[in-house]
Amino acid sequence: MQHSLLLAPVLLPLVGGLPVFKMNTRTMRRNYITGLLVLEVILLCLIDWQGELCHVLSLWGSARIILGADGLGRLFALLVAVLWLIVSVFADEYMTHEHNQSRFFGFYIMSLGSLIGICLAGNLVTLYLFYEMMTLLTVFLVIHAGTSKAIDAGIKYLGFSVCGAALGLLGMFYLQGNQTTDLFIAGGTLDAALAVTNASGLKIALFCMLIGFGAKAGVLPLFAWLPTAHPVAPSPASAVLSGLITKMGVLAMIRVIYYQFGVDFVSGTWVQKVVLALVIYTIFMGSMLALKEKTLKKRLAYSTVSQVSYILFGILLLNSEGLTGALMQLVFHAVAKNGLFLAAGAIIFHIYKTKTYELRGAGKVLPITMWSFALYALSLIGIPPTAGFVSKWFLAQGGLELGVLGLIGVAVLMISALLTAAYLLPIVADSFFPGAEFHYERLHQPQKRHINWRMRGPMLVLAVGIVILGIFPGLLNWLIEPVTALLFS
Amino acid sequence: MSQFLLLFLVFFPTVCAPVSYLIGRKSKGMRNYFVAVVTGLELAAAVLLMTSGEAAVRLDGVCGLGLGFAADGFRCLMTLIAAIGWFEATLMLREYFAHSRNRNRYYVFWLLTLTGTVGVFLSADLFTTFVFFEVMSFASWVMVIHTEKPDAIKAAETYLAVAVIGGLVTLMGIFLLYHLLGTLEINSLYHAASAVESNGALWVAGLLTLVGFAAKAGSFPLHIWLPTAHSAAPAPASAVLSGVIIKTGIFGILVLSTQVFRYDYNWGIVMLALGVITMVLGAVLAVFSIDLKRTLACSSVSQIGFILTGIAMQCLLGHHNAMAVDGTLLHIVNHASVKLILFPAAGVIYCTTHTFDLNKIRGFGKGKPLLMLVMGIPMASLAGVPGLNGYVSKTLLHESIVEYIHLVPQTAGLFTAVEWAFLFAGGLTAAYMLKLFICIFIQSPAEEAHWAGKKKYASKLSMGTLAGLVAVMPVMGLLPNKVMDGLAALGRGFMHGEAPAHAAEYFAWANLKGSLISLCIGVAVYLLIIRPFLTVRDCTGVSYPDRWPQKLDLETGLYRPLLCVILPFIGAFFARVAEGIVEGTVHLLSDLLYRGQTRNVCPPEDEEFAAYDAKPKSRVGFRYSFAYSIILMGIGLSLTLLYVLFKG
């Protein structure tokens, strides 16, 4: 009975999202959504994350749907649920200038169910099913605006995600026969004898899975959906897309590497090196393209491409510092990037600007938004005392242990940090220091939409969070240490 | 108690920063008092710390690795200088800022910068140093950009770029150091470094770490930010920038030179090269400058060169480094004290004249004896006139070079050249100070000067503060063995200097000779170069044309094109190639998939009539053309060919 509690956090948003489609009064919808998301967080806190399993149903053959609760799942699930709640508060106010709000929020809530499903998945089949479900549900967030541009972007998103997942599936088929069990076990589940005889096949399968699941995480070569999908989606949707949904690709990759193949099998193979090289290239490429991009949200999307690859870099190092850094970067990037997209949303909402060069003087008009923006930016660059610095520190220490490729990776991290500074700080500088001669009337809009505390609150919470986490990263120890301790004991 | 003091010194200004903002929204006068009280308390705490002896405190887990603070003679002294600088500048700010906008914002970052600076000076490990170094860099950026005038914005851009790039390179170095040494604790760096086998890796790490600190200190070739940032910032801010903040860079360099590379000959040569180039270059720039604050800023670059030379001599002299250590420390103190007076004094001139241009402030000081003393004494001190404090440190630095010539006769030729470069740079110092002094106090003002009739030019508080600081200089200079030697002893623990065998005889002929040579060079340069070539004499008086060739500007000539055009182009090329391959494949695939189809799209605003997308014009001809079929056929043929080749 205790175990079926695991089903609750998955089903709650999936089922609870349905009535939202029919709720047309804003107050009621707001209260309902907030209540539901708070309940979701409470449910997740109630779960005893000690590796218990819940067998839901058998599909065919040995394939079955299993939910499990372990430390890694806890980290991801709590992160997702809490940020989903914070963004929803912002979204409620932001979406007032868009149509079809009920539809948006319906899919918004339901997608959370699929994300929690991925976090709680106990084996690859379950993970894959929820993964596809997430793609299908979140497409509606991307195409919400309904313009032909949005629909094109949605199709692109769908295409890349499905192709990626298919590649993953291909790997799964091959992997299936070489496992002792289908569950996620720290240290891997490969059959020792078969792992030796089928080594080259398994490596190809691993490569396919990493590239496939990397599509969601925005790694070369399947990253191109990100810069297309993010700018057209409503800002709260881009926030969760960029901050959290890309992280599901990361989660899938951690599961594959650490819980299916195992560190011992992966480390030192060509797969590790090739993917690591791809990831390092992505880090550089994302930052460089962001620097050259002039649309704010698109620039942030490219930035995500680069930043999520920081996480993957840490994961592929296959050592304890690297993984710690990766998990920290995961949390910090999620917080900062959610915040950045919310800030971009607030800018669109209040002064109708989407280009980076139009933001001169915005700091005077939107002080809290731009202050938060500045703090998120500092964290993305990795300037102490914001959080990004801590994760970068661990990533670099992990990287230096690996040898030449790691050293190159750390150097690229630094170059990327410089590029990050180059594409974010001028925005901050221009918005706060437009020049003594600047006329603020230029920013006034005929139709004023005021930013109230429902929009400022979430941004402030995230901004304060990023600083507090930077000063006291130990606050996350209870989430991160169990994972690394288990994987590198 | 001392532990509490340490934490208080570091974090108190940060805690007060938001409070000052809130107070400032209610009452501006109250806020000014509040900030003055805060910096005053900081000063009191610094004095207390000085008297309470050594202490250390660690905050485990903060910012990842944990922060560590320690207090010893050198750290306390630097903190004291910082506190004095901030207190004095805060008192000066009130008058300087009387008609300025956005003061609230300024004060917040003013206090944050103080935290950063004190944090660097009190740090016990390089991690802490770096954390506060970055805090300071970013917080002080707001001080540079404060006025928001075009030149301030450009200067701030440069400042930020140098700070970010320097910071990241240093961070990379610290990563490597930590990886190699396993510790960043400043006191254990030496032992850890001597155990390292691969010298090459240690050097790479050390040089990378050096970059950010050297950039902040204003060493060649990264000095470019300094002249523009100092000129653009409000004068009291330039005072702490020049007097205190650039010394944080020196702090980092000292950690590297006296711990990681203690007594390392090669490192000493590197530092010596940097030092000599910086001190001569800065002085030459200062001689050419026609702007009061820019001259002082370039002078800072030059003086940093002197300090670097002292650090280099510490490394070279090994166990005989007594004079180099004392000279380095004293020159840090002297330069700080001189610049903490000259910049605010320049601010006093600005308050009345609203310009720093030498042509427009010419003759401002005529008939203002107090101002003449307040500016004249520090100028003379920095030029090394005997009887003032600057003379003492310059003599020590000079003697350390002479000592090395005696110790190692093999390289005597090289070091005699260094000695002459040193004397020459000292001469240039005298020359540009003479130029400033004569311009402000001797020459008569232009007739159209709008301030000509005004009698009152500064408040009693401002002049009193400055005069109080100036009064210390002759005392220090005339009683060197009592005052200066005591100060110098504070630095020996940190820099690992040996105590000198006997007290130095500062007023012996051998020592006076060096100073006199320098001063003679100075007068000669003024009379033979500045007067004939850098000034123009006409009926209205003397004017100062800008004779510095623009082509020689490193920033516009090299760094900006490199960083803004060339490197981004190369980087973007590689990034776009990768992106292009992916996007191209997608286009190709979608062309194949949607061949011959038009996509029906029904926009929501028009539900009755379906709208059809126009056929994309660009690829239409391609899609239906004969060429397209031929390409596909070609691909098929080549695949077949490949198959046949590999099969056979």
Q: What is the spatial distance between Cα A310 and Cα A289, in angstroms, rounded to a whole number?
A: 16
Contacts of B549 (CB under 8 A, 6+ apart): none
Question: What would you measure as the largest C-alpha separation in chain A, in angstroms?
Answer: 75
- Residue B262's φ and ψ, nearest 5 degrees, are -65, 130
* Cβ–Cβ gap B63/A385 under 8 Å: yes
Q: Tokens 């709590």 — which residue?
A: A78
Residue B640 lies in a domain: yes
Contact with chain B for residue A417, Cβ under 8 A = yes
* Cβ–Cβ gap B575/A429 under 8 Å: no
Residue B313 lies in a domain: yes
Give yes or no for a contact between B320 and B402, defined as CB atoms under 8 angstroms apart. Answer: no
Contact with chain A for residue B157, Cβ under 8 A = yes
Contact with chain B for residue A475, Cβ under 8 A = no
Contact with chain A for residue B564, Cβ under 8 A = no
Residue B165: list chain A partners with CB under 8 A: 418
State pLDDT tens for residues B349-387.
Answer: 888 888 888 888 888 888 888 888 889 999 999 988 888
Chain A to chain B, count of Cβ pairs less than 8 Å apart? 117
Residue B263 lies in a domain: no
The dihedral through the CA atoms of A203, A204, A205, A209 has a sign that is positive
pLDDT at position B274, please? Answer: 93
User: How does DSSP assign A239-307, residue by residue?
Assistant: HHIIIIIHHHHHHHHHIIIIIII-HHHHTTSHHHHHHHHHHHHHHHHHHHHHHH--BHHHHHHHHHHHH
pLDDT at position A412, please? Answer: 94
How many C-beta neighbours within 10 Å does residue A253 have?
A: 25
Last residue of a domain, one of B513, B548, B583: B548
Using the predicted structure, report yes or no on whether residue B616 has a pLDDT greater than 70.
Answer: no
* A303: nearest Cα among A289, A321, A318: A289
Domain boundaries, chain A: 267-489
Shared domain for B505 and B639, answered yes or no, is: no
State pLDDT tens for residues A137-164.
Answer: 999 999 998 888 888 899 889 989 999 9
* Cβ–Cβ gap B62/A148 under 8 Å: no
Q: Greater confidence, B156 or B198?
A: B156
State pLDDT tens for residues B531-566.
Answer: 888 888 777 677 788 777 777 777 777 888 888 888
pLDDT at position A1, please? Answer: 43
Residue A394: list chain B partners with CB under 8 A: 64
Give the mean pLDDT of chain A: 90
Distance from CA of A211 to the nearest CA of B (A): 14
Contact with chain A for residue B48, Cβ under 8 A = no
* A193: nearest Cα among A209, A177, A208, A204: A177
Q: Where are the alpha helices (DSSP H) in B362-438?
A: 369-383, 389-407, 412-437
Shared domain for B342 and B480, answered yes or no, is: yes
| Token representation of residue A99 | 């149509």
Contact with chain B for residue A393, Cβ under 8 A = yes
Q: For chain A, how many residues are written?
A: 489
Shared domain for B310 and B456, answered yes or no, is: yes
Residue B425 lies in a domain: yes
Residue A425: list chain B partners with CB under 8 A: 160, 164
Residue B601: list chain A partners with CB under 8 A: 148, 151
Q: Please tell me which of the candidates B63, B135, B575 has its beta carbon nearest to residue A390.
A: B63
Q: Greater confidence, B342 or B456?
A: B342
Distance from CA of B573 to the nearest CA of A (A): 9
Shared domain for B497 and B618, answered yes or no, is: no
| B331-349 CB burial, b ≥16 within 10 A, e <16 | bbbbbbbbbbbbbbbbbbb
Q: What is the spatial distance between Cα A487 and Cα A480, in angstroms, rounded to a whole number?
A: 11
Q: What is the spatial distance between Cα B586 and Cα B91, in angstroms, rounded to a whole number?
A: 65
Q: What is the spatial distance between Cα A33 and Cα A454, in angstroms, rounded to a whole number?
A: 14
Q: What is the spatial distance between Cα A376 and Cα B20, in angstroms, rounded to a whole number?
A: 24
* Cβ–Cβ gap B160/A425 under 8 Å: yes
Please, what is the Cα angle at B248 between B242 and B253, to 5 degrees? 120
Q: Tokens 């914002």 — which residue?
A: B105
pLDDT over 90 percentage in chain B: 34
pLDDT at position B116, please? Answer: 93
Contact with chain A for residue B586, Cβ under 8 A = yes
The complex scores an ipTM of 0.92
Q: DSSP label at A386?
A: S
Residue A429: list chain B partners with CB under 8 A: 145, 153, 156-157, 160
Contacts of B100 (CB under 8 A, 6+ apart): B106, B146, B147, B234
Contact with chain A for residue B603, Cβ under 8 A = yes
Shared domain for B497 and B353, answered yes or no, is: yes
To test the contact with chain A by mutation, choose from B58, B63, B151, B607 the residue with the greatest count of A C-beta atoms within 10 A, namely B63
Contact with chain A for residue B25, Cβ under 8 A = no
Shared domain for B503 and B367, answered yes or no, is: yes
Shared domain for B388 and B461, answered yes or no, is: yes
Contact with chain B for residue A424, Cβ under 8 A = no
Using the predicted structure, report yes or no on whether residue A204 has a pLDDT greater than 90.
Answer: yes
State pLDDT tens for residues A238-255.
Answer: 999 999 999 999 999 999
Contact with chain A for residue B610, Cβ under 8 A = no
pLDDT at position B603, please? Answer: 55
Residue A146: list chain B partners with CB under 8 A: 603-604
Helix axes B246-255, B126-145, angle to 10 degrees: 160
Residue B299 lies in a domain: yes
Please, what is the Cα angle at A336 between A334 and A340, to 5 degrees? 115
Residue B211: list chain A partners with CB under 8 A: none
* B457: nearest Cα among B366, B378, B340, B341: B366
pLDDT at position A330, please? Answer: 93
User: How does DSSP assign B450-480, residue by residue?
Assistant: TTTT----S-HHHHHHHHHHHHHHHHHHHSI
* Cβ–Cβ gap A289/B613 under 8 Å: no
Q: Find, in chain A, the residue whose alpha carbon is nearest to that of B137.
A: A383
Shared domain for B448 and B533, answered yes or no, is: yes
Contacts of B181 (CB under 8 A, 6+ apart): B189, B192, B193, B196
Q: What is the spatial distance between Cα B511 and Cα A305, in angstroms, rounded to a whole number?
A: 64
Using the predicted structure, report yes or no on whether residue B65 has a pLDDT greater than 90.
Answer: no
Residue B592 lies in a domain: no
Distance from CA of A418 to the nearest CA of B (A): 7
Which range of residues forms the domain containing residue B435?
Answer: 290-548
* Cβ–Cβ gap A397/B178 under 8 Å: yes
Contact with chain A for residue B156, Cβ under 8 A = yes
Burial of A177 (0-12, 13-18, 19+ CB in 10 A): exposed
State pLDDT tens for residues B570-611.
Answer: 888 888 888 888 888 888 877 776 665 555 555 555 555 555
Residue A400: list chain B partners with CB under 8 A: 175-176, 179
Residue A156: list chain B partners with CB under 8 A: 586
Q: Where are the alpha helices (DSSP H) in B258-368?
A: 265-288, 292-317, 322-353, 358-361
Q: What is the spatial distance between Cα A130 and Cα A251, in angstroms, rounded to a whole number?
A: 12
Q: Where are the alpha helices (DSSP H) in A101-146?
A: 101-120, 124-142
State pLDDT tens for residues A416-469.
Answer: 999 999 999 999 999 998 888 888 777 777 777 788 888 899 999 999 999 999
Give yes or no for a contact between A286 and A304, defined as CB atoms under 8 angstroms apart. Answer: yes
Shared domain for B510 and B442, answered yes or no, is: yes
Shared domain for B612 and B541, answered yes or no, is: no
Distance from CA of B62 to the nearest CA of A (A): 5
Scan residues 277-316 of B and list those with Cβ closer than 8 Å to A.
none
First to last CA, chain B: 87
pLDDT at position A436, please? Answer: 80
Give yes or no for a contact between B306 and B397, defined as CB atoms under 8 angstroms apart. Answer: yes
Residue A433: list chain B partners with CB under 8 A: 145, 148, 153, 156
Shared domain for B341 and B483, answered yes or no, is: yes
Scan residues 278-297 of A and list those with Cβ closer than 8 Å to B.
281, 284-285, 288-289, 291-292
Residue A418: list chain B partners with CB under 8 A: 164-165, 168
Residue B297 lies in a domain: yes
The dihedral through the CA atoms of A101, A103, A105, A108 has a sign that is negative
* Cβ–Cβ gap A389/B164 under 8 Å: no
Q: What's the average model confidence in pLDDT over B213-217? A: 93
| CA distance to A52, A155, A420, B224, B324, per residue, from B562 (Å) | 58, 40, 18, 14, 38
Residue B147: list chain A partners with CB under 8 A: 436
Give yes or no for a contact between B529 and B284, defined as CB atoms under 8 angstroms apart. Answer: no
